[in-house]
Amino acid sequence: MDPDAVRATDEVAELAGIVGAVAADLALGAARLALGRPDERRASLACAALTRAGFGARSTLAGHTALAGVVRVHGIVIRRAASDFSNDSEKQKTQVFDSHTREVAALVPGRRGAEASGSRFAVRGCMKIGIVGCGMVGSASAFALVMHGVGREIVLVDLDRKRAEAEANDINHAVPFAHPLTVSAGDYAELAGAGVVVIAGGVAQRPGETRLALLQRNADVFRQIVPSVLRHAPGCILLVVTNPVDIMTHLAARFAADFGVPPTRVLGSGTTLDTARFRALLGRHFDVDARHVHGYVIGEHGDSEVIVWSQATIAGLNLEEFAAVRRTPLTLADRAQIDENVRRAAYQIIAGKGATYYGIGSAVAHIIDALLHDRRAVLTICSGVSGMAAAEGVTIAQPHLIGGAGVLATIPLTLEPAEQRAFERSSSILRDAIQSLELAEQRRP
Ligand SMILES: NC(=O)c1ccc[n+]([C@@H]2O[C@H](COP(=O)([O-])OP(=O)(O)OC[C@H]3O[C@@H](n4cnc5c(N)ncnc54)[C@H](O)[C@@H]3O)[C@@H](O)[C@H]2O)c1
């Protein structure tokens, strides 16, 4: 058999696995089209691979997408597959394949199959990311995405179009030194096909303004942003960064539900940054690479957050054990200093330079990388997906498993009694804030 044909059929199955929603029968059709002739044995292998991967019939679009991917990636000449659309004009065929190729870029949510096999169906370089609100945080996120080579195309949307254009231009000039992404400014319509849309837009606190009044104004901003995004990118994962991030994520999920978006596709950066700060400080204390320090900060992204000392480990040892092995004591005063530096970091940075953005920008890029590449990462994002009585109905940060479909699971930690009480307190602070916001909204004329 023609080796090209063999590869094409195998890759139909693999691509289908990556797309995650391709019907076996459509993939069979796609295999036939891509091969230019039927091949039952290879096509049935493709179907068997699909079945093993656990994908059932879902959508014709996905089937066509698989086809477009095969045609595009495999290089089986478009003309050959296009000839099956025999009633279409050449121009129509080209349009169909162009649009399918864009769909491949937009829809492929993960590369589970690709990673397993080292195939060239990597989604890196195929994905579009939207960022709504490109002030300090939004633009630092775009910069981090370019520096890490996450995604293929970034669209910046902001009320201030000139700012968005200037940021896009500036970041584009870093591309030759980093990774081949394109960064542009656009309107909501340009978010079409985005796999992930970050929301970092919002208004800042006015002098004398209460936290609740600020919340109400940011709720109004989200009431406009979330539908505008979902009208153009209905399949995207929303990643909320705007503060107070737990409450804004809760609101985003509520507004997104009106568009049929499940809570698994709406997440906030939560305490990802606080967790990184905790690990960085422990790493510095023990002189260990922070990537080899495991520990979590959970709860509200704010004053009531909980630093889970009891579960922190290095090399599988708890901190007391590791301190003894390394003969590096971790005194109560050291702990208090680390706690203060984690909890008060944002205040200290804002006092010094007005805003925090590099750390959160890197955290955003890391979360998006986990989503686009289906990394199955454990991150302390915040989400309404909970399996914990203490946080039922509250959008709060705790370890979650993150992958191509968004939030895959909540992983509750085994907390010590004092930590559990602190987590419940943090949870009730967030619950109260949501309730007071809802009450204030009901009272509004
Ligand atoms: N979650 C975290 O860990 C974390 C960390 C740092 C900052 N933040 C939060 O991120 C948010 C952004 O911070 P920043 O420093 O970039 O602020 P910024 O003022 O520099 O940027 C906000 C941007 O949002 C835009 N904007 C406002 N309303 C909009 C709308 N309706 N549509 C589109 N764009 C709109 C503004 O034009 C502005 O460019 C803040 O809420 C901040 O508190 C969160």
Q: Are 43 and 80 in contact (CB under 8 A)?
A: no
Residue 115 lies in a domain: no
Mutate to test the pocket of ligand 1, among 243, 267, 303, 350 (most ligand atoms within 8 A of CB): 243
For residue 90, the enclosing domain spans 3-107
Last residue of a domain, one of 267, 301, 322: 267
Q: Are 297 and 439 in contact (CB under 8 A)?
A: no
Query: Looking at the structure, do residues 253 and 163 belong to the same domain, yes or no?
Result: yes
Query: Looking at the structure, do residues 290 and 427 belong to the same domain, yes or no?
Result: yes
pLDDT-derived band at 269, boundaries 50, 70, 90: very high
Looking at residue 4, its pLDDT comes to 57
Q: What is the DSSP letter of 290?
A: G
User: From the alpha carbon of 359, which atom of ligand 1 is closest?
Assistant: 5
Protein residue with least CA distance to atom 2, ligand 1: 241
- Considering the chain, what percentage of its residues have pLDDT values greater than 70? 71
Alpha helices in 118-242 (DSSP H): 136-148, 161-172, 211-232
Q: What is the CATH number of the domain that holds 408?
A: 3.90.110.10
Query: Looking at the structure, do residues 405 and 286 belong to the same domain, yes or no?
Result: yes
The more confidently predicted of residues 302 and 35 is 302
Q: Determine the average pLDDT of the residues in 159-180.
A: 97
Residue 301 known to be catalytic:
yes
Q: What is the largest CA-CA distance in the chain?
A: 78
Chain mean pLDDT for the chain? 80
Which tokens belong to 350?
């804002």
Report how many domains make up the chain. 3
**pLDDT of residue 299 exceeding 90:** yes
Report the C-alpha gap between 106 and 65 in whole angstroms: 10
Whole-number Å distance, alpha carbon 275 to ligand 1 midpoint, is 21
Alpha helices in 287-416 (DSSP H): 319-326, 332-343, 345-353, 358-372
Looking at residue 385, its pLDDT comes to 77
Looking at residue 172, its pLDDT comes to 96
User: From the alpha carbon of 356, which atom of ligand 1 is closest?
Assistant: 6
Residue 120 lies in a domain: no
The more confidently predicted of residues 359 and 17 is 359
Q: What predicted TM-score, i.e. pTM, was given to this entire model?
A: 0.76
**pLDDT of residue 84 exceeding 90:** no
Residue 118 lies in a domain: no
**pLDDT of residue 313 exceeding 50:** yes
Residue 121 lies in a domain: no
Q: Left, alpha or beta for 2 (phi > 0: left; psi -120 to 50: alpha)?
A: beta
Give the SS3 label for residue 239. Answer: strand
Query: Looking at the structure, do residues 397 and 342 belong to the same domain, yes or no?
Result: yes
